[in-house]
Structure 1
């Protein structure tokens, strides 16, 4: 087999796409507005910091040398449904006349989905890698974001229903567990987007955030007081910030190959 092709196949087998992308974060201890920080990061590095998962967040938390730090998340005009796990919502199973456009979180009833206010309380289902079924029913009433935090802290995340097969698995779990009430699932509608146009829907909001408490809080930052969880702030505020530079390790390795 050609040496180049063998090396490519080996790399693909050893790592997923997300694991083959390396980000290096840079804490910039200069106070700038969000837009000024974005311009600086794009000129000096790749862009403002993006987070795809908790591994990224653990690295970002190392930048918390100050009370508040900008990251590259900003509210946009778009508002799309997506999964808490970070997967896009390509499969949709809404009940009749749903969603009605008023609310931003979703629950499941008799195998179908309904949108509802995220501040309401329901029981919920978590994904878990430690159970035979991969699912855990939490018989506690929580709002959607508290349920999300609970699942992430104690299991993996709020349950995703990304296709017909997963819908059947979740419905069977509900039937076998004799769950008669509505349950939160990990589907939510979000108008926040990363500066580098990443499609990551990973979110790490502090409880009750984003709240737009003072109006026009359209940019996101980490806060030391809440252990790195995110808060929404006015983009005109000035804080230190985090940039990232990234490279695709797989692409770079292939380019550096000496073809035999």
Structure 2
């Protein structure tokens, strides 16, 4: 495809990041049990609603009809295996236990001297919140883990997440500078067995105070600001919320140009990844792919020696694997395009555009 098609858009692109919503929510005001609701959503849309963060929760609540006081099913159901999750919804890419720690019932995490220790969630500790403008915030009040989570979400963003060794060292220094007592500090890591219907890795939870963690399914409670409770999935019948994916993994093996044409004819475009948040959303869906890498809307210009998004945006946020994404790509015998790995750390790689891969389209 001629490069000249992309350059007029490229010349006017700015490094601004717009918020992208991964899903469209649809409220279905018909009473069904959880399994019937799941079957309906999978037939009509994508699945029962998944929620990644508070922004998603706000959008979901906007979809629920005003005046609905009844409980409303979402796509969260109790499973059998305990897993570690971050309160913020970040993927768990890094762990730093004092010794090997397996996830178990009612377990949360404190940090002490840079190491992580399992702790009962109903114990009390001081804690660290994350704030978009202020960064890390040390809260010198002792609370149990769930109260600390609520405090952070009401006053900042969430309990802090730690994604790598560098962030762990920065957090350790931050705590040492402010926590003169040397006591253990809550971070946002917790374990549970809950699983989303669409098999999403989202670890976001919004439980109300009356949450009992029974072996049931989750429903939002409109009379409690949409907070969640757990209810019997077989005997209760409630209305429900479905979601329709904004990102679609297409399990066809096409060249990059063929994938671009397919997305523009059947959806909107190949996906652009302009923020860490969007990268997390891509990481959530790319696991559905059948190829080792998946095409993105990322293209290299041999004439200009730059990478750009076909949507007309410059590459501001980057997540390249080492040795990939350089300006001096080998353009012979074919142009290079960008793909995301479907395994490992899901970083971006440069591939010849003639390679046959799955790809991600966007619907927004």
State how 1:87-126 maps to structure 2 within 5 Å.
Answer: 87-96=90-99, 98-99=101-102, 101=104, 103-126=106-129
The one of 167, 170, 193 equivalent to 1:191 is 193
Name the counterpart of 2:241. Answer: 242
Normalising by structure 2, report the TM-score: 0.62
Match of 2:269 among 251, 254, 258: 254
Distance 1:115 1:47 in 2: 34
What pairs with 1:150-169 in structure 2 (closer than 5 Å)?
Answer: 150-169=151-170
| Partner residue of 2:82 out of 79, 82, 88 | 79
Partner of 1:135: 136
Q: Cα distance, 1:143 vs. partner?
A: 0.9
Moved over 4 A (4+): 3-16, 99-103
Structure with the higher fraction of residues in helix conformation: 1
Residues 1:73 and 1:11: Cα distance change in structure 2 (over 3 Å): farther
* Deviation for aligned residue 1:227: 0.9
Tell me the residue number matched to 2:222: 224
- CA distance change for structure 1 residues 82 and 175 in 2, over 3 Å: closer, same or farther? same
Q: Distance in 2 between matches of 1:9 and 1:77?
A: 52
Indicate if the aligned counterparts of 2:114 and 2:172 stay in contact, CA closer than 8 A.
yes
2:296 alignment counterpart: none
1:39 is matched with 39
Within the candidate set 181, 184, 193, 1:182 is matched to 184
CA distance in 1, matches of 2:85, 2:105: 16
Gaps of 5+ in 1: none
Q: Against the structure 1 CA distance between its residues 9 and 120, is the aligned structure 2 distance closer, same or farther, given a 3 Å change threshold? A: farther
Aligned residues: 248
How far apart in 2 are the matches of 1:247 and 1:84?
A: 23
Asked if 1 retains the 8 angstrom alpha-carbon contact of 2:220 and 2:227, the reply is: yes
- For residues 110 and 238 of structure 2, what CA distance do their matches in structure 1 show? 37
Please state how far the C-alpha of 1:98 moved relative to its aligned partner: 3.8
Query: Could you tell me the TM-score, scaled by structure 1's length?
Result: 0.85
Report what 2:50 is aligned to: 50
Cα contact 1:66–1:240 (8 A) shared by 2: no
Return the index of the structure with the highest Cα Rg. 2
Structure 2: state its 5+ residue gaps.
Answer: 249-259, 271-309, 311-364
Which gives a bigger RCO, structure 1 or 2 (Cα 8 Å, sep 6+)?
1
Whole-Å separation in 2 of the counterparts to 1:150 and 1:89: 22
CA change 1:185–1:253 in 2 (3 A) is same
CA-based RMSD of the aligned residues comes to 2.7
